[in-house]
């Protein structure tokens, strides 16, 4: 019969860059101007859940994000869909009498339903989890038999940072050399068990949507900033090597110094853009001062901070005990108020102070 629906559900956590990706050398294929390194959060915390379904009764490709239907006409979704459809393979479920050939996949339409359990587009890398999850679940549905590195190259074409969310633990996105992007892929540097002392606390400074999208921000930066050239050529290659070493050795002081310096340089590059881009606000700056003071007082880094395209602080503490102290400090220095700028801390699976 033609009444069947075939579906797959997947969950993908977001990732936070500790060496940032900022700037494309190819906007269509999403090829970056430097390598980047990220940590993937534990599944279940900041993640996207996506269900994809296919049925002969569907007449159009459709997508619902957080309960609202949005247009699928954007080039990026279409690029991912096209790449996946071209790699779909035969599927058969004898019990249900479903048989889909490679050719059928070209004609069958899909429905996609996706939820984020955290603020969308507030600089918490929502697109990273979202596009990675979309590509992963569609690949499963369409019986795509490519390895993760190939899937990462497809997710990359949806959102650059998404390519790093297909793996857990520490992940490097290699910028690659090819013009067609075939070698611009993500690789896992270490799995999630490698350094599980680290505790990541996200201080949600504001859950408002960011004013400058990463796409237009990056474009402006690449076109107008002199600092970005220096960063991509002279600074990041060296930092990538040092960061890989710090991760391999679980060397927290080096890890923290590199992550903080790289976050600060990313925001300096934003300020060096015309028109200047301000992602951090006063609260973000106060959090940085607070962590810097603490680290200096202790004589070695206890906590690292990093900020993406928004004011929210991602704080990485060296162990659980330090994380507890960090929370106490945050609560003391940024007391919750009903109209507070900073109104929730996400700690693992618990959100306190909402």
Residue ranges binding ligand PMV (CB under 6 A): 17, 20-22, 36, 125, 127-128, 159-161, 214, 308-309
Least Å from the CB of residue 173 to ligand PMV: 8
The DSSP bridge partners found for residue 187 are: 172
Antiparallel, parallel or unpaired: β 170-173 and 186-190: antiparallel
E-assigned strands of 222-354?
303-306, 313-317, 344-347, 350-352
Element (H, E) at 334: none
Least Å from the CB of residue 20 to ligand PMV: 4
First to last CA, the chain: 50
Least Å from the CB of residue 56 to ligand PMV: 35
Q: Which of 314, 232, 234 is nearest to 269 (CA)?
A: 232
Least Å from the CB of residue 218 to ligand PMV: 7
Least Å from the CB of residue 179 to ligand PMV: 20
Whose Cβ is closer to ligand PMV: residue 88's or residue 270's? 270
Whose Cβ is closer to ligand PMV: residue 40's or residue 161's? 161
Whose Cβ is closer to ligand PMV: residue 316's or residue 327's? 316
| Radius of gyration of the CA atoms of the chain, in A | 21
Token digits for 125?
């890398």
What is the spatial distance between Cα 112 and Cα 69, in angstroms, rounded to a whole number? Answer: 10
Whose Cβ is closer to ligand PMV: residue 127's or residue 137's? 127
Whose Cβ is closer to ligand PMV: residue 54's or residue 256's? 256
Whose Cβ is closer to ligand PMV: residue 160's or residue 168's? 160
Least Å from the CB of residue 58 to ligand PMV: 29
What is the spatial distance between Cα 279 and Cα 346, in angstroms, rounded to a whole number? Answer: 20
Whose Cβ is closer to ligand PMV: residue 127's or residue 188's? 127
Q: Residue 317, by phi and psi: left (phi above 0), alpha (psi -120 to 50) or beta?
A: beta
**Rounded (10°) angle between helices 75-87 and 148-156:** 150
Least Å from the CB of residue 335 to ligand PMV: 29
The DSSP bridge partners found for residue 325 are: none
What is the spatial distance between Cα 99 and Cα 70, in angstroms, rounded to a whole number? Answer: 30
What is the spatial distance between Cα 271 and Cα 140, in angstroms, rounded to a whole number? Answer: 42
Contact at 8 Å (CB) between 142 and 101? no
Whose Cβ is closer to ligand PMV: residue 127's or residue 283's? 127
Whose Cβ is closer to ligand PMV: residue 214's or residue 295's? 214
Cis check for the bond before 275: say yes or no (omega within 30 of 0).
Answer: yes
The DSSP bridge partners found for residue 24 are: 32
Least Å from the CB of residue 96 to ligand PMV: 38
Least Å from the CB of residue 160 to ligand PMV: 4
The DSSP bridge partners found for residue 70 are: 63
């Amino acid at each position: 019969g033609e009444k069947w629906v075939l579906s797959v559900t997947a969950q993908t956590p977001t990732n936070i860059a500790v060496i940032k990706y900022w700037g494309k050398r190819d906007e269509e294929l999403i090829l970056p101007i430097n390598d980047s390194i990220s940590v993937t959060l534990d599944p279940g915390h900041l993640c996207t859940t996506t269900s994809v379904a296919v049925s002969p009764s569907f007449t159009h490709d459709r997508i619902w994000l957080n309960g609202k239907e949005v247009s699928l006409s954007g080039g990026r979704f279409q690029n991912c869909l096209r790449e996946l459809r071209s790699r779909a393979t035969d599927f058969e479920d004898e019990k249900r009498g479903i048989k889909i050939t490679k050719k059928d996949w070209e004609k069958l339409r899909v429905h996609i339903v996706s939820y984020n359990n955290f603020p969308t587009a507030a600089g918490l890398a929502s697109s990273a989890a979202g596009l990675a999850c979309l590509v992963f679940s569609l690949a499963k549905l369409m019986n795509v038999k490519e390895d993760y590195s190939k899937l990462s190259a497809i997710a990359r074409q949806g959102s650059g940072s998404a390519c790093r969310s297909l793996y857990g633990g520490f992940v490097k996105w290699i910028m690659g050399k090819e013009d067609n992007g075939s070698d611009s892929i993500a690789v896992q540097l270490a799995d999630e068990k490698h350094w599980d002392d680290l505790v990541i606390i996200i201080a949600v400074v504001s859950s408002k949507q960011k004013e400058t999208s990463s796409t237009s921000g990056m474009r402006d930066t690449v076109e107008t900033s002199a600092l970005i050239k220096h960063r991509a050529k002279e600074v990041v290659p060296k930092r990538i090597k040092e960061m890989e070493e710090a991760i391999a050795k679980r060397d927290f002081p080096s890890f923290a110094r590199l992550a903080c310096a790289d976050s600060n340089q990313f925001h300096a590059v934003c300020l060096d853009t015309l028109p200047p881009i301000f992602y951090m606000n006063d609260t973000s700056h106060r959090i940085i001062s607070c962590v810097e003071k603490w680290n200096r007082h202790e004589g070695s880094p206890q906590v690292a901070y990093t900020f993406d395209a928004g004011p929210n602080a991602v704080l990485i503490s060296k162990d659980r005990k330090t994380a507890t102290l960090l929370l106490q400090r945050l609560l003391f220095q940024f007391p919750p108020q009903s109209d507070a700028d900073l109104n929730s801390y996400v700690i693992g699976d618990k959100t306190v102070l909402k």
